Structure formats: C-alpha cells, structure tokens
Chains A and B, each alone.
Chain A
C-alpha cells in the first residue's frame, strides 16, 4: 500500500435472506424393490426418457416383480407441483413406493 493512499470503508452488496431451517428426509427407503411400484418421471431434456428406459430395463433384471409407472413433465422448466397438472402429479405420487427423476441440468 502506498503512503497516503485513501482507504475506503465499504458496504455489503450481498442481500440478507431469511434463514431456512433445513428439513430432513422422512420417507423410509425400501430395502427391496421387488413387488414395488416404481415411478419414472422425465422432463423435456432429450436424454431424460432414454436414461430412464435404461434404468427401467436394469431394474427389471434385478427386481423382476417390480412394476413401473411413467410420468412426463407437463410445463417446461416448471416444478410439476406448480403446474396446471399438479393434482395429476400428486395422485400419481400417491400410487408409488419410490420414484426416479431425470434429468437435471
């Protein structure tokens, strides 16, 4: 620092935000997927559905008595629970024992 160089006391541009209390997971995981209903939810990204098709195939090999139910995002880049089909989504979730979502970017 040069002598006599002015010093600046500066304010914080980073906004305050209310603290968010983190929520824990409560849904118990299934030790065995045999006999369970597995949801496969894909968004509009091109790889989403094919990824889940590979997953479905592999899960069927490992868990032959599992069943599968597909769901396709109804409004681009909109959480399904906030979409026009939120009720349909909620009803779909009620039928499931576990669910896989693809594909996040």
Chain B
C-alpha cells in the first residue's frame, strides 16, 4: 500500500493488488498514511504461491476489476474523502462490575483474551509510583497507528496486565526500545504485523532482575512468576493499545504465536561463567538493560553427550534457517564449555562454520534460486554444503534456565546488529524503597 501511496503522491495513478485475506489490513494501512481512497483490488492468489495454475486463475478472475481500477474516473469521494469522525477517547471509559469491565475491554479489542485487572485511578496511581516521570510525559508515537505513548497509558496497560509498580522502569525502557526500532524489514512494526507471527522476546540483564524477582532459573519461560508473566503481557498490550497492532487487522500472523502472550527471560548471570550478555553492548554489570528480538520459532534439544563436542554439535544440528538466533545454554553446559576454554565469540564462530545444509536446500522462500557458492561465483555441485548463518553477530549466547541438559533456541527476526537492540533500564531515585515494598510478593508453594 505504501508504495502505491508514494506513486499517487507523485501524480502517477496506482492500483495495488492484494490478497483477499488482507482487505482490513490494507484499509488500515491506507488510512494510517492518510490516503484511504487508494485503489486496491483483492485477488485470491496466496502471496507465497508458486503454482502457476493458481496464479493464472486468480489473476484472470480479477482482471476486469484490475483494469477498471486503473481506468475508471475518480469519484468525488476519492478526490475529497470525508474526514473520519474524531475518536472519542475519554480518559475514564467505563464503570461496572469486574465481569462487566472485563467484557467491555475484551469487546473493545483491548485485551489479550485473559481477564484483566481493572485500571482504576487508584491502581494506575499506584503503578505510577514506579517512575518519577510525570504521567503526561510523552515518550513518543508508536507505529503503526502513531499512538501517543505516555507514561500514563503505559501504566494503564501495566495495571491491566497485573504488573507491579516495580516493573514500570522495565516497561518504559521496553517502550523506548520499540520507539527506537529501526525502520523497514528489521523493525518491530514489520515483525508485529507480519504473517510470520514473530513474537517479542524480552531479555533482561542486570541487578533489576533480582529487585523484581524475575525468574532467570528453572522454568524461566514457564508460567508462575509475576514479573516474567506480566512484563511480556503488558508490552503486548502496549503494542496493541498504543501502537494499534491488532490480530487479524494489522497483525496478520498466519498461525499466531503463544510467545505473544509473554516471552520474558532474565539471564542467569549468577550461574554464567561468562560476562553477562549486555556487557557485550557496552553496559557494565551494575547497569540493567532490556533487549528485544522476535523469534518465530522456539525449540529445545538434548545433547547426545555432555562434553563440548556433544553440546556444540547438538547446537549446530538444530540450527534452522532464521535471521537472529538466541542460543540459550543452561548453566551446566555453559560451565562445561567455559571450562574447556570456549568463549562466546568462539561458539558463535563454530556455529557459523558448522551449521550447514546442502546447497540445494538453501532457503528459496525469498526468491533465492539454488545458490551459487562463494559470493555467487561458482555453481554448487551435488554434495556441496553452505553455512546457514553467515554473520556471527546475529547469534546471541545467553545463559538461563535451571539444572538440566536442555538447550533452547529462539529463532526468528530481530534488529540488524548495531541498530536499536538494547535499552538501558533507568531506575527512579526511590528505587530501594519501592523494591522493599514489593520484594516479598513471591510464590510460597505447599510441599507435598
């Protein structure tokens, strides 16, 4: 749509062909760029289709509509579209019982399907004690809707998610990271709306992890800890209610992704033999940070042997095509590798060298034909292999999880190395007092 709009802006009549499943998405995109009348024609061809019979049939079925869109004179509405009615965006939006609040918010499309905590004035005021920034502070306008990300709106969505006030610095940093996201293919907005169902994966480093009881150990990605559960949940609500990315309208993920409910991990720095991940980006150990990638897939595997060879071959055997990789070692394997002299840099280089596929299997989905070797100079022969990963910078080595042997890979998209990947978590001056107030909210399980 955006390319069509560019053409119209430059005086060239445009027709945009879209898949019929994306009509609402197209309308939203056109409206967001203030050109609701741009002419688009829905056709039945699946966007990734390679079956000529299907492409031919779908295109021919729409041919008259396509030509009509090109030659029909402009209507008055197309020349002068009526302005949309201004959104009534009252600050206090509802009054009702707990069930009524939940139903109302759900029916407005403001939740993730789970029950929410009603964001009353009192609850939001308590949430705002987690930051010294005034409630009306505007951090920026979040794509694609350009919704104003104020501290208050962040706090409202945080209350809904069930977050504690001590998570506000993390949520503010997370929002800043979204706002700083690079434009284009590697940006958060692309991943948020894509058919690929890329889930935001938030990785937190530094002392804040302990302050907020973030689980970095056993079951760090499993349910059961408020911080892990609600930080991701709140960020998802922020992306939806401030950024305006909604399932089936802007978020066109084909399958969806359970990680979109929450995917938050703290690095297990205490049990890692290496320097924490964020120090690779210029942070000190004493600083806290949040990092964002967009895995589409998450796998776990069990190395055939617990020595460095078994561990690293298990990793390379389980590398699948992607763009950005978080390779998550449990402390057990991290310590083995470090003991055997492996640095994170060497591990990345090993993975790049030895995670290979036959050249004929190289991913064709983005139009690559059977690849040539060595910068495209030599034809691949039967039996030649190529590396799956070319650039070691797209591999993050993380240490997390509890006792045990399973290694995890979170594979998918993420920022271009060197672009906005990580954000400092700034703490308010009364942080110690705040932490003391909420520190003891932890599960106490009955033993049986």
Q: Is B73 an interface residue (CB 8 A)?
A: yes
Given contacts A13-B153, A22-B81, A51-B55, contact A75 B367 (CB under 8 A): no
Minimum C-beta distance from B328 to chain A (A) = 27
**B1–A93 touching, CB < 8 Å:** no
Which of B70, B100, B121 lies in contact with A29, CB distance below 8 A?
A: B70
Given contacts A7-B97, A11-B92, contact A29 B119 (CB under 8 A): no
Q: Is B442 an interface residue (CB 8 A)?
A: no
**A45–B153 touching, CB < 8 Å:** no
**A13–B367 touching, CB < 8 Å:** no
Interface range, A side: 35 or more
Which of B10, B73, B119 lies in contact with A10, CB distance below 8 A?
A: B119
Complex contacts, B58 vs chain A, CB 8 Å: 51
Interface range, B side: 35 or more
A90 to B328 Cα, complex, angstroms? 45
* Chain A residues numbered 11-43 whose CB sits less than 8 Å from any CB in chain B: 11-33, 39, 41, 43
Given contacts A12-B89, A28-B73, A46-B367, contact A54 B60 (CB under 8 A): yes
**A54–B71 touching, CB < 8 Å:** no
A8 to B123 Cα, complex, angstroms? 11
A4 to B414 Cα, complex, angstroms? 50
Q: Is B13 an interface residue (CB 8 A)?
A: yes
Complex contacts, B141 vs chain A, CB 8 Å: 17-18
**B59–A104 touching, CB < 8 Å:** no
Task: Mark B15-48 against chain A: 1 for CB-CB distance below 8 A, else 0.
Answer: 1111101100110000110111111100101111
Instruction: Write the chain B residue with the least CB distance to A90.
Output: B10
A6 to B100 Cα, complex, angstroms? 11
Given contacts A22-B81, A25-B78, contact A104 B149 (CB under 8 A): no
Task: Mark B44-67 against chain A: 1 for CB-CB distance below 8 A, else 0.
Answer: 011111101001101110010011
Which of A8, A41, A62, A100 lies in contact with B96, CB distance below 8 A?
A: A8
Complex contacts, A17 vs chain B, CB 8 Å: 87, 141, 145-148, 244
Complex contacts, B157 vs chain A, CB 8 Å: 13
Instruction: Write the chain A residue with the least CB distance to B89.
Output: A16
**B83–A45 touching, CB < 8 Å:** no
Instruction: Write the chain A residue with the least CB distance to B111.
Output: A13
Instruction: Write the chain B residue with the least CB distance to A12.
Output: B93
Given contacts A17-B147, A23-B34, A46-B49, contact A100 B15 (CB under 8 A): yes
Minimum C-beta distance from B192 to chain A (A) = 12
**A10–B94 touching, CB < 8 Å:** yes
**A13–B47 touching, CB < 8 Å:** no
Given contacts A10-B94, A24-B81, contact A30 B37 (CB under 8 A): no
Given contacts A13-B153, A78-B183, A105-B47, contact A20 B17 (CB under 8 A): no
Given contacts A13-B237, A47-B49, contact A54 B95 (CB under 8 A): no
Number of A-B contacts (CB under 8 A): 275
Q: Is B11 an interface residue (CB 8 A)?
A: yes
**A10–B6 touching, CB < 8 Å:** no
Minimum C-beta distance from B207 to chain A (A) = 30
Instruction: Write the chain A residue with the least CB distance to B100.
Output: A1
Complex contacts, B195 vs chain A, CB 8 Å: 105
**B110–A11 touching, CB < 8 Å:** no
* Chain A residues numbered 80-99 whose CB sits less than 8 Å from any CB in chain B: 80-83, 89-90, 93-94, 96-99
**B47–A9 touching, CB < 8 Å:** no
A61 to B403 Cα, complex, angstroms? 69
Instruction: Write the chain A residue with the least CB distance to B82.
Output: A22
A22 to B16 Cα, complex, angstroms? 18
**A51–B17 touching, CB < 8 Å:** yes
A1 to B148 Cα, complex, angstroms? 35
**A26–B8 touching, CB < 8 Å:** yes
Instruction: Write the chain A residue with the least CB distance to B15.
Output: A100
Binding site for A on B (CB under 8 A): 1-4, 6-8, 10-19, 21-22, 25-26, 31-32, 34-40, 43, 45-50, 52, 55-56, 58-60, 63, 66-67, 70-74, 78-84, 86-87, 89-98, 100-101, 105, 108, 110, 118-121, 124, 141-142, 145-150, 152-153, 156-157, 160, 183-185, 190, 194-195, 237, 241-242, 244, 252, 365-367
10 sampled A-B residue pairs with Cβ under 8 A: A10-B92, A10-B118, A11-B156, A15-B148, A15-B150, A15-B153, A17-B87, A24-B79, A54-B56, A54-B59
Besides A24-B80, A47-B46, A77-B190, 14 other CB < 8 A contacts? A7-B95, A9-B92, A12-B90, A13-B105, A17-B145, A19-B84, A46-B48, A47-B55, A50-B49, A81-B6, A97-B13, A101-B4, A104-B19, A104-B47
